[in-house]
Each structure stands twice: as structure tokens, then as C-alpha cells.
Amino acid sequence: MPMTITEKILARHANLEYVSPGDLIEVNVDMALANDITAPLAIKVFKEVGARKVFDPQKIALIPDHFVPNKDIESAEQAKVMREFSAQHQIVHYYEVGRSGIEHVILPEMGLVIPGDLVIGADSHTCTYGALGVFSSGVGSTDLGVIMATGKTWLKVPPTIKLDYEGSLPPWVEGKDLILYTLGKLGIDGANYKSLEFSGAVIRGLSMDQRFTMANMAVEAGAKNGIMGPDETTMAYVAQRSNRRPSIFTSDPDAGYEKVIKIEVDKIEPQIAFPHSPANVRPLSQVGDITLDQVFIGSCTNGRMEDIRAAATILKDRKVAKGTRLIVIPGSQSIYRRAIKEGIIQTLIDAGAVIGPPCCGPCLGGHLGILAEGERAISTSNRNFVGRMGHPKSEVYLASPAIAAASAVLGRIAGPEGL
């Protein structure tokens, strides 16, 4: 029977020959993930169910990234719970501050997730790994606590929406613009408990960094997962990072889709998501004059090497506008190190940026850039709900790193062509 890539991965991990949308299945988990916010709750559940040891200390990743370096006593206690649990159960993939970064950046970077895997994380943006041809999805901490004990969970097989991107990308249009444009078409509930399959010549022409950006935001349409079929770009990325043999799955030509949406990219402009929804998008030409108090470049959406490099290219020999703050946070220690070697950090500092340690930072209203009442920010992150980055009466706009960098120079939302 024909199946989509998502259905094939789920069938393999359920030890079944065939699954179809709506089936309830029990699956084996290749990697279970939690961070310093969600891990303490999962650990509490792990203990409450009477578990004495984790199902596999090599298949659990515990990453402190949300409130680190610890911003207060409460966050320090949360990190301590995770640290002590990791030591007690000899968790192989626990990464302390200084060796770590944002969970959804470092897991692919370190080769901990590869094509064909099934990954469940106690964080909604676990869907990021779909860019590698992985079934990856977020769950609550209760589910994650049981997974850490058993290595299994149950899922309902989602129907799949296929997104077929064709054409040639205009200047300054990249993965972030494509996913924002798509969210504008789907809405924030247009893919509830569905799989979003990104396909087409445009996707095959994207770098891995841009693919991660798109898969990362699948959940903003309510999707269970986002996924892309592995190709030569995928395999080259994985070969540099993992010695494990990937399992390559692709959708059958006659696989059943709930719908197929064709997107011609030739006339797409850089996209801006207005408050207070990632789906409230407008093309750059229709933005108007919106002044900014803060610009944030980073997060699990756009804190990768290409993102930091793109920002530095635009900021070189320029200065951040007076009255505007620019915060740049590399997504991992490795990216930070490479940015230093390439002179990118120097360029950003010369422009007037402040560089934060690899972590989530202000993305979730955590720390290192909280907005005050009435302030406006443009951010390369994934969400701009009310109060997401600080005061409920602040405003957050979403855009690509190129748009964010140009906006920092001009002090208002604008593209590089405005420079």
C-alpha cells in the first residue's frame, strides 16, 4: 500500500507494514528530549510512575537552554534537578552551559538525529528535525516522563498536507519568508494534528539551515510534524556529523494526501508577521513606517551559522540606529566559535550589537532582552503572541535575519534594499 514519508517512519517504529491516517499506534522512540523548563516536570512524572532507570541513557537528551545561564533562583533550581537526574542515570547527552546551546540547534549539529529517526521532545519546536527526514513532534512533560521510563509512546497517525514549492526565489527571500507566507495561507490552525510535507524544486535548492527554519515553524500552523524527504544536501550534512546509518524514507508517488497545495515563489516578497500571530503576515512593501526599539537575531528558528553570517554581511561598516537595540544570540557554542573565527562577532559588535551566550534568550520572554510596555521589536524567532517577549502591551514582528539586520540599521522595519 502506498504511504507518505511520515506514515512510513511511523509504520517502521510501530513494527507494522502499513499505517493510515487515524490509526492509533504504539511506537518506539529513538530520541527523547527535554529542556530546563520541561525536564523537571518530566522527571517528577518519571519518579511518580515508579521507574528506577531510564529506558536507554544514550537515547535521552537533556539540554538546559531556556533560562541559562540561570537568571534567578527558580531557574537555577530547575537546572539543578536536570543536572542531578542526568548524573544519576548517566544520561549521555546532557550538555552543560559552555558545551551546549539551543536544543533544536545542537541535536542536528551533533548528529544526534538522522533521517528515519522518530524523535519526541517536551518542546513544541521538536518538529525542527523534520528537515532531516525525521518524524519529530512535541509532547507534554507527562508524556515525556513516561517515555524516559519506557522508550515508547502512542500516536495517532496524522493525515498529510503536501506543500509543493516551485519557481525561483526573488532577492532576499529565503526559508523564513517561505514559511511565513505559508502560514499566512494556512492560518494558525490550518494544519491541526496534520503532517506538513515540504516538497518541490525550491525546497531541494535550500540549504539545511533554511530547511530547519521552515520545519521549525510547522507547529505554528498546528501541525503534528513538518517533514522533508532526504536528498543529497541532507546526506552531506548528516555524513559530517554521525556514524549511524540513516534510514531513507520518501513518499510514494501515489501516496494519499489530504490536500496538495502548490506555491509559486517567483513573486513572493520578504514577509513580515505582524502582532499577534505568526500567520498575520504582510509583504515588506505593505509594512509602512514602523519604528523599532529592539531587534533580536537568534532562536531555534534563525540562530544558525547562515543566519548570523547574513546579518553580519548587512551590518558590515554600518551602525545600529540610535534608539534601537540589537541583540544577537548564536544558536550553539560551535556557531559562536565559528562566528568569532570568521570575524562575524567583531563585525556585529562594531555595528553596535550586543552578543548573548548560546541560549533561547528573549524568544520566550525568558531573559536577555525582555520588552517593556509599549516597546516594539522585530525578531527572527517563531512566535509573536501577546506577551511572548515581555510586556503584554509590547509588540513583536517576525522576519528573516536579513530583514532584521537592515531594520536595525534603519531603526524601522525595512529590507536590505532600503540601505
126 contacts 104 by C-beta, under 8 angstroms: yes
> Residue 20 domain-assigned?
yes
Q: What pLDDT was estimated at residue 213?
A: 98
Same domain, 89 and 238: yes
> Residue 197 domain-assigned?
yes
Structural domain boundaries enclosing 171: 5-263
> Residue 29 domain-assigned?
yes
Q: What is the pLDDT of residues 283-328, one digit of tens each?
A: 999 999 999 999 999 999 999 999 999 999 999 999 999 999 999 9
What are 226's strand-pairing partners? 196
State how far the Cα of 18 lies from the Cα of 6, in Å rounded to an integer.
11
State how far the Cα of 345 lies from the Cα of 326, in Å rounded to an integer.
13
158 contacts 21 by C-beta, under 8 angstroms: yes
Q: What pLDDT was estimated at residue 240?
A: 96
Same domain, 17 and 35: yes
Same domain, 33 and 69: yes
State how far the Cα of 26 lies from the Cα of 151, in Å rounded to an integer.
10
Domain-ending residue, one of 263, 283, 298? 263
Same domain, 172 and 286: no
> Residue 134 domain-assigned?
yes
Whole-angstrom CA distances from 374 to 292, 293, 387, 410 are 11, 10, 11, 20
SS3 356: coil
SS3 30: coil
Domain-ending residue, one of 213, 244, 263? 263
> Residue 419 domain-assigned?
no
Same domain, 97 and 146: yes
What are 167's strand-pairing partners? none
Same domain, 291 and 353: yes
Same domain, 299 and 384: yes
Strand duo 93-94 + 60-63: pairing: parallel
Q: What pLDDT was estimated at residue 220?
A: 98
Same domain, 251 and 397: no
Residue with cell 509583504: 283
Please enumerate in sequence order all residues whose Cβ is within 8 A of that of 353, keeping only pairs 6 or more positions apart, or say none: 315, 320, 326, 327, 328, 408
Domain count, the chain: 2
Same domain, 308 and 252: no
> Residue 103 domain-assigned?
yes
What are 199's strand-pairing partners? 164
231 burial (CB, 10 Å; 0-12 / 13-18 / 19+) is: middle
> Residue 377 domain-assigned?
yes
Same domain, 245 and 306: no
118 contacts 28 by C-beta, under 8 angstroms: yes
Same domain, 39 and 76: yes
In the chain, DSSP finds a helix count (H) and a strand count (E) of 14, 18
381 contacts 296 by C-beta, under 8 angstroms: yes
Q: What pLDDT was estimated at residue 288?
A: 95
State how far the Cα of 382 lies from the Cα of 399, in Å rounded to an integer.
9
What CATH number does residue 98 fall under?
3.30.499.10
Q: What pLDDT was estimated at residue 124?
A: 97
Q: What pLDDT was estimated at residue 312?
A: 98
Q: What pLDDT was estimated at residue 13?
A: 98
Domain-ending residue, one of 263, 294, 318? 263
Same domain, 130 and 256: yes
Q: Kindly give the parts of the chain with pLDDT less than 70.
A: none
